[in-house]
Every structure is written in C-alpha cells, then in structure tokens.
Amino acid sequence: MTKICSKCKQEKELSCFTKNKKSKDKLSYRCKECDRSYYLKDKDKKLAHSAKYRKEHREKYKQYLRNYYKTNKKEMNAKGKEWRETHKSEIIAYRKNPEKIVRARKVHKLYVQRNPDKIFRWKQTSAKRHPRNEWRTLEYIQWAYEVKARDKFTCRNCEKKGNSLNSHHIFPWADFSEFRYEINNGICLCYKCHKKFHDIHGKSKFLNPWMAPA
C-alpha cells in the first residue's frame, strides 16, 4: 500500500507517514521527511508556542497525558525499555554530566516541595511492596508525615521549608519504644540540621530546648 505526500507529491509506503486520527485513512497528509523539514523551519517558535499552551492549560494537558498512558501503557513501556537498551552508553554519560546532575536535583527538590502529598502516597505504596524493616512500615510513614505536616513542612531549627526534611524522634527510637509513634515525640528537621544533631550527640537522649513539640 502506498500514499502520495501532499507536500513533495511523491508516492511512498504507508510506513513513511505518521498517524493522524483526524484524517480518513488515519495517516498524516505529509510524509515524515516533509513533517520534519516543516518542524525545523520554525523550531524555536513552535516550541515557545507549545510551552505557552501547556502552561495555560496545565491540568488539561496533565489529564491528556494520563489518559494516553493508560490506553498505551504496554506499548510505551516496551518502547522505553527498547530505547534504554540501545542507548545505554548515552544514558550513563548523561547521568555523569555534572550540569545535568545539578539541574535534576533542583527539579526534584521543586517537585518534592510542591507535591508533599504525592510523595507521602508513593512512600505508602513503596512500604506495602517492600516491607524491609520498622522504618518502612505504614505506621512509621504516617507518623513521619503527620510530624512534618504539623510543623508546616518547615525545619524547627533553621526554618528551612519544603524539601530534604526528616522527622526526628525527641526521645530516641531505640530507648523509648512506647513513644515511637507519638506525634508530640517528633520534630521536623531539615537533612543538614538532623545530621548535625546526630554527629554531635550521636544516638543519646540529649534534648535541645528548641526541640519542644509545637
């Protein structure tokens, strides 16, 4: 089976055309080569227009992506797996690029800051699938989330907000098992303050004045 491209007027195989649900034969009017040349002609302008549309219709675009993934889940996963296998060296080089690492960390921090509820739900499902120890149980994850939520996702020492937050036990986990899941026995600390505290005091029963529950 063949088809004539509306741009170059050449007769080509159907595999040379992309899909288009709006057309009668469900294929694009232009061939892939003509489509590519048309896209590259005003690439920056088209990218800016697409970015503007996604920003103005964020929820609509998200819903479209969710629906598309649901209907094409197996096909997308298979293509992704195939692509990763054929581009292993490129992926490794990309991950080792320091500029990309810094950017990825910034994006991850922003995502965690904007979506604390999603992170909590992800940890819940992770604990169900991989129950390794007491620190990964649903009860502990629930306790840690409620401590952070009570402190408004803010470090009680340096007042840093958003990402890299830990729920610290005021009375240590190992020595006071009866207080492990008490909300008032927890305090929200950022990663640096939490690490600094344990570096100085270890796992002792030391209690700072600013560690009093809210």
Would residue 175 count as lying in a domain? yes
The pLDDT confidence band at residue 114, using thresholds 50, 70 and 90, is confident
The owner of tokens 């080569």 is 33
Q: Is residue 42 part of a domain?
A: yes
The span from the CA of 197 to the CA of 189, in Å, is 10
Question: What residues pair up with 17 in beta bridges, in sequence order?
Answer: 31
Question: Comparing 23 with 210, which gets the higher pLDDT?
Answer: 23
Q: Give mean pLDDT, residues 118-135.
A: 62
**Domain for residue 22, yes or no?**
no
Q: What is the DSSP string of 54-102?
A: HHHTHHHHHHHHHHHHHHTHHHHHHHHHHHHHHTHHHHHHHHH-HHHHH
Task: Provide Rg for the chain, Cα atoms.
Answer: 26
Q: Please report the pLDDT score of residue 52 as a whole number.
A: 92
What pLDDT sits at residue 179? Answer: 84
pLDDT higher than threshold 70 for residue 149: yes
Confidence check: pLDDT of 124 > 70: no
Residue 86: inside a domain? no
Same domain, residue pair 69 and 146:
no
Q: Are 169 and 186 in contact (CB under 8 A)?
A: yes
Examine residue 84 and state whether it is found in any structural domain, yes or no: no
pTM of the model: 0.40
| Among 197, 124, 207, CA closest to 158 | 197
**Better-scored residue on pLDDT, 194 or 122:** 194
Q: Provide φ and ψ at 24, rounded to 5°.
A: -65, -40
Domain check: are 127 and 68 in the same one? Answer: no
Residue 123: inside a domain, yes or no? yes
Q: Report the pLDDT value the prediction gives residue 71, as an integer from 0 to 100.
A: 92
- State the average pLDDT over residues 185-211: 73
Look at residue 53 in the predicted model and tell me its pLDDT: 92
Token readout for 213 is: 């529950």
Q: How many domains does the chain have?
A: 2
Q: Do both 142 and 62 map to the same domain?
A: no
pLDDT bin (cut points 50, 70, 90) of residue 212 is very low
β-pair type (27-31, 17-19): antiparallel
- Residue 6 main-chain phi, psi, to 5 deg: -75, -15
Domain that holds residue 47: 32-76
**How much is the average pLDDT of 4-28?**
88
47: Cα separation from own chain's centroid? 23
Asked whether the beta carbons of 147 and 183 are under 8 A apart, the reply is yes
Q: Please check whether residues 124 and 57 belong to one and the same domain.
A: no
Q: What is the mean pLDDT of the chain?
A: 82
Q: Find out whether 6 and 31 touch, Cβ atoms under 8 Å.
A: no
